[in-house]
Structure 1
Amino acid sequence: MPIPDFVRALREKIGTDELWLPGVTAVIIRDVPEGAPITAVPEVLLVKRADNGQWTPVTGIADPGEEPHQTAVREAKEEVGLDIQVEALLGVGAVGPVTYPNGDVTRYMDTAVRCSVVGDSDEPVISDDENTEAAWFSIMHMPPMNPRFRLIVGDAVAQLRRPEGFRPRMGYVKRDRTR
């Protein structure tokens, strides 16, 4: 997995100790085309990660000074060769800790956004070594994945269908409401 240069420089100083980094999750949705059957549902683009074999939306680390929406656009181009635009904020929340195979430990402040493909083609092409596969999945038939990602995909469809009533999620951790 490519490690951003700025993270590599930090790791030289702190080793595998926990890092707090800005992350972005780009939930790329392909809506139901005009005139499709009433039973048709949107699709989501998922990638299968090379490091752990898990299916996820496109994710990435923001470069220093890079805005989250710019990170989403850059990561989609780098990982699946698609041009996208960010349509809506889905939420912000802390993720982790994540321990990588090399022992690095990281937590992320993740910004999740709903995106759509722009341009003539919406067929993904694996563009780097971060993922082994990329495919469109019906939101009703997604492969097994981290519950957080399922939640965010659901949020993306809810925001697409009812933008006027949607409120971005603040935090991904389920809180005890008895306190």
Structure 2
Amino acid sequence: MNVPTPEYIKDLRQDIGHKELLLPAVTAVVLRRDDDAGIPLPVPQVLLVKRSDDGRWGATAGILEPGEEPGAAAVREVAEETRVQARPVRVTGVSDHGQVVYPNGDICRFLDIAFELEYVSGQPQPGDDEATAAGWFPVDDLPEPFVKQHRERIRWALETGAPARFRQ
């Protein structure tokens, strides 16, 4: 299954073809530090999704819609992909997620704003066609295969109170 392309991207592609397109994106690292009774977990858990396009596990991520605030996009992506409600805590980093070349030849580069979010409610389950599975995992025992860049985003989120990272 392929991740659906938003209509405004399809419109842009009519003008620029397959050329590289810079897109604003968010990575939403949702953490649970306490269980449902409020007791601290021995190891924090992170909410992960298994991508339908390549089978890799990672944090919830996606591109912003025109006019959308980044924090709202992070919350929306989590709800759409996992049916979990979460709230933003802080921006943990801003970085180039790297160039992606899609099977149809489209080239994108994602400017990623990484967020730490805290769990509010809901049971993880795939909420749309972008994920085939969703669940909580101990941060020290992540499933494979895994999205390489998301390991770094999870480390950033675990550093409570640390300033946002900006790559040089």
TM-score by length of 1: 0.85
Gaps of 5+ in 2: none
Would you say 1:16 and 2:21 are equivalent positions? Answer: no
2:7 is matched with which residue: 5, 11, 23? 5
1:50-129 to structure 2, matched below 5 A, reads 50-119=52-121, 121=122, 123-129=123-129
Return the offset for 1:28: 0.5
| Number of the residue aligned with 1:133 | 133
Deviations for 1:51-72, whole angstroms, at most 9, x for unmatched residues? 1111110001001111110100
- In 2, the alpha carbon distance for the partners of 1:16 and 1:51 equals 19
- State whether residues 32 and 41 of structure 1, in contact with CA within 8 Å, keep that contact through their aligned partners in structure 2: no
Q: Where in structure 1 are there 5+ consecutive unaligned residues?
A: none
Give the percent of matched residue pairs that are identical in Structure 1 and Structure 2: 39
**Aligned to 1:47, what secondary structure does the other structure show?**
strand
1:11-66 deviations in Å (ceiling 9; x for gaps): 121122110000000001011344457xx100001111111111110001001111
The 3-state SS of whatever aligns with 1:41 is strand
User: Is the 2:114–2:153 contact (alpha carbons within 8 Å) kept by the matching residues of 1?
Assistant: yes
Q: Which runs of 4+ in 1 moved over 2 A?
A: 32-37
Give me the CA root mean square deviation. 1.5
Task: Tell me the distance in 1 between the aligned counterparts of 2:33 and 2:68.
Answer: 28
**CA deviations over 1:75-97 (Å, ceiling 9, x no partner):** 11111112211011100011221
How far residue 9 of structure 1 moved from its aligned partner, in angstroms, is 0.8
* Bigger proportion of residues as strand: 2
Distance 1:72 1:95 in 2: 16
The total of aligned residue pairs comes to: 163
Larger Rg: 1
Give TM-score, length-normalised by structure 2.
Answer: 0.91
Q: State whether residues 33 and 40 of structure 2, in contact with CA within 8 Å, keep that contact through their aligned partners in structure 1.
A: no
